[in-house]
């Protein structure tokens, strides 16, 4: 038995069901607990039949119409982006902005933290998930990693830093134009702090990195392991925090700015595969977060011979409701107030679906 406990509980709900001719029927509910934080994810024996009701299928005519209507006057498009977006002081970013291939980095005009930058592609006003090609993502993620290193040096009090994305309106995007955000400061977000604290507790108890242990155990079992490239291990999380969640762990990297070129390339390639899969199943909106451990000298190693950081770089991707005229939110009391999540497709099935594609390159 490994160090990580994959806990689940099973309950029964029974009632006279119109789906069974008003005969008495039971449904099986499974509750999984995240092995690190204890967060819960719930599935039921009949829930998979409701996934399309919850998330729907993308209406691409509607999405294309919105893209066309929003193109004129878009601040991130090439006609305006260099005239109307902010610039950093030279001591933060020489020249005020960072360009990397097709990607451009500049300050968020309405920041929510001391570090809050936008990473966008001026020439790409709208992108379907399948159009986030590996080379395009590599440029965007590479620009974000470059900026992360500069921001850490310019703002030494920074304790946390993430690269995040809200793509399309159901995922919380305020603009159609695709973009990422680099977000960091002194006040650590609650869920980030929880992950750090739980990782540190595991390291104290077992003198090993939770994340290295997780990737080793998942690779050995094979149930939720998807693939590995350049030290980036791709998994379907045991207790997901969102629909069709996929994660990548880079056990040897302590912070976003420490990612090397090969790791950025691997993360971009894997993320591109996941996003293409989302589109294949009719989805279009998504969120991702890429974050590491504490900054400002607070980071530590797990204590075993590997020298792994207590909390390494982790990328988590979730699908959101499909974009269509009557799209509904997929976030309600269970997620917002009770801290749980629904499972429509099991992590084991997700891993089996994606594994072959990751093995191909």
Q: What local confidence, expressed as pLDDT, does residue 339 receive?
A: 87
Q: What local confidence, expressed as pLDDT, does residue 1 receive?
A: 65
pLDDT digit string, tens, across residues 69-78 = 999 999 999 9
Say how far apart CA 361 and CA 356 lie, in whole Å. Answer: 10
DSSP track, 273-341: HHHHHHHHTT---EEEEEE-S--TT---B-SSTT--BSS-EEEEEEE-PPPSTT---S--HHHHTT-EE
Give the Cα-Cα-Cα angle 280, 283, 284 (nearest 5 degrees): 110
Domain ranges of the chain: 57-328+345-359
- The helix (run of H) or strand (run of E) holding residue 28 is strand 23-33
Q: Are 168 and 323 within 8 A, CB to CB? A: yes
CATH of domain 57-328+345-359: 3.30.428.10
Residue 361 has pLDDT above 60, yes or no: no
Q: Determine the 3-state secondary structure of 209 from DSSP.
A: coil
Residue 306 has pLDDT above 80, yes or no: no
pTM, 2 dp: 0.95
Q: Are 314 and 248 within 8 A, CB to CB? A: yes
pLDDT digit string, tens, across residues 242-290 = 999 999 999 999 999 999 999 999 999 999 999 999 999 999 999 999 9
pLDDT digit string, tens, across residues 294-305 = 998 655 787 776
Say how far apart CA 289 and CA 162 lie, in whole Å. Answer: 7
CA distances from 105 to 37, 121, 144, 147, 289 (A): 33, 9, 7, 8, 17
Closest CA to 285 of 191, 165, 162: 165
What average pLDDT is seen over the chain?
94
Q: Determine the 3-state secondary structure of 252 from DSSP.
A: coil
Residue 45 has pLDDT above 90, yes or no: no
Percent of the chain with pLDDT over 70: 98
């Amino acid at each position: 038995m490994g160090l990580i406990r994959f806990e689940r509980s099973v309950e029964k709900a029974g009632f006279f069901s119109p789906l069974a001719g008003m005969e008495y029927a039971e449904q099986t509910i499974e509750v999984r607990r995240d092995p690190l934080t204890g967060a819960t994810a719930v599935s039921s024996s009949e829930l998979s039949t409701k996934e399309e009701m919850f998330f729907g299928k993308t209406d691409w005519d509607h999405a294309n119409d919105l893209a066309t209507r929003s193109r004129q006057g878009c601040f991130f498009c090439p006609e305006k982006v260099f005239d109307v977006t902010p610039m950093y002081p030279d001591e933060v970013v020489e020249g005020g902005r960072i360009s990397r291939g097709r990607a451009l980095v500049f300050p968020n005009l309405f920041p929510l933290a001391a570090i809050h930058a936008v990473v966008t592609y001026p020439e790409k006003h709208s992108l379907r998930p399948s159009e986030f090609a590996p080379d395009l993502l590599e440029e965007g993620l590479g620009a974000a990693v470059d900026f992360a290193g500069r921001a850490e040096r310019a703002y030494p009090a920074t304790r946390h830093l993430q690269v995040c994305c809200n793509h399309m309106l159901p995922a919380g995007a305020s603009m159609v134009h695709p973009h990422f955000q680099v977000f960091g400061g002194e006040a650590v977000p609650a869920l980030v702090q929880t992950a750090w604290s739980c990782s540190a507790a595991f390291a104290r108890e077992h003198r090993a990195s939770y994340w290295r242990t997780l990737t080793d155990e998942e690779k050995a079992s094979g149930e939720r392991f998807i693939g590995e490239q350049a030290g980036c291990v791709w998994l379907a999380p045991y207790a997901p925090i969102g629909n069709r969640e996929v994660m990548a762990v880079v056990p040897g990297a302590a912070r976003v700015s420490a990612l090397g070129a090969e790791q950025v390339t691997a993360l971009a390639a894997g993320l591109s595969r996941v996003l293409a899969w989302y589109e294949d199943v009719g989805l279009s909106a998504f969120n991702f977060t890429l974050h590491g451990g504490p900054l400002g000298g607070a980071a530590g190693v797990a204590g075993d011979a590997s020298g792994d950081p207590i909390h390494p770089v982790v990328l988590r991707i979730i699908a959101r409701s499909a974009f269509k005229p009557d799209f509904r939110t997929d976030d309600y009391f269970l997620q917002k107030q009770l801290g749980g999540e629904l499972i429509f497709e099991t992590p084991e099935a997700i891993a089996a679906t994606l594994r072959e594609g990751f093995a191909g390159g």
